[in-house]
A and B are shown apart, each in its own frame.
Chain A
Amino acid sequence: MKITTYLLAATLLLTSGLVSAASIELQVQPDPTNPSHPTMGDWMHFNSVISNTGTKPIEGLVAWISLVEVTPGKEQPMDLEDWSAHKAVTGTTLKPGEALKTQWPMRLIQNGGYRIVISATDRNNNAVFTSPTLQFHVAQKPVVESTRILPVALGIPLLIGGLLGARKYRGHHKTT
């Protein structure tokens, strides 16, 4: 009987912990204005909703966006340095039933297949909660204007260098 009581108490404690731990719900959707065929250089936006579905307030909420490349043979986590200036939301408090909407802008720096996920935790939680992932493909942009830049960037110094050489040759011939 005592053992049963202790077991029941332990179960209740555990589940109450689980209930309060499982109090963050995340959803993420692509913004309707996102390009239908994203290309390098385009901007995409992702809209997330972080909800407190528990009975206790969430304090010190931290939510962040992660990006993973899933191109076959090139699978890797991506450093968001050039992709996004808005990488995290910090220090927010959510009361029970409250939700936080956030938009995550992202510039598509490299071509390939990618997935994003929004993660969140708070100061009193050891668990990290994640949204469903969103996958998208970024098409390659042709190398910018190289057919216009190369002739100018190489041609003009060559032309001036040629003039220099011609003057030097003429000067040398005059003295000899």
Chain B
Amino acid sequence: MSEHTGRTAIVTRTEVILLILAIAALGVLLMFGARAHQPFASAEVQFTDASAHGLAIVPASCPSSPDYPGECGQQCTPSTTCVNATTQRNTSATCAVSDTICPAGWSCDSGACVQPPAIGFYSFPATGPNGNFQATGHLQVSPQLIAAGSTTHAYWSVSNVKSCTVTGTNGDSWTGASSGASGKVTGLVNSQTIYTLSCIGLDGSPTPSLNETVTVNIIPTFQEQ
């Protein structure tokens, strides 16, 4: 038993020493790495030279590279294209190419970075307890004036959103971008109730979120005294 404990202790010490050696080796490598990453700041040509009357001439050196066969003479029409769904490529008049990643949520289409559309509303033919009507897409409750203890219907239809929820102060709650043509039947409404539509727009959208409210009122009742 004691022999086993002794062996374990020796192995643990060895491991610790090995780990320290590994970290030290890594440190040395890191130092060499940092040293290696200090390229000699070089210029193939001076930036400017003076002409006979003192104006600044700027030589270039493009054809010096054997990797650019003919490219320095190539005449490019400046253009922008899409490399993939989110990266735009610009080609300059001297045929230099540079890639730009579109802002978060934007997409690249026909060479341009396109912002996602703003939150929108779809009008739709709705059916309700009081007959058919054309819903606007905005949050609507019909009928909006009801007797205490009865129910009503909520309608909405929103586009270009990540998610939407509709909540009522009476505890009602629904999710989704649309209520459907027949709307959502509310729970019992016993007192004035406020319904709120909350939506989150697409990433990068000009309308990151949206809130709309509709108030349902109770028909007052009168009692003769």
A associates with B? no
Measured CB to CB, the residues of A under 8 A from B are none
Measured CB to CB, the residues of B under 8 A from A are none
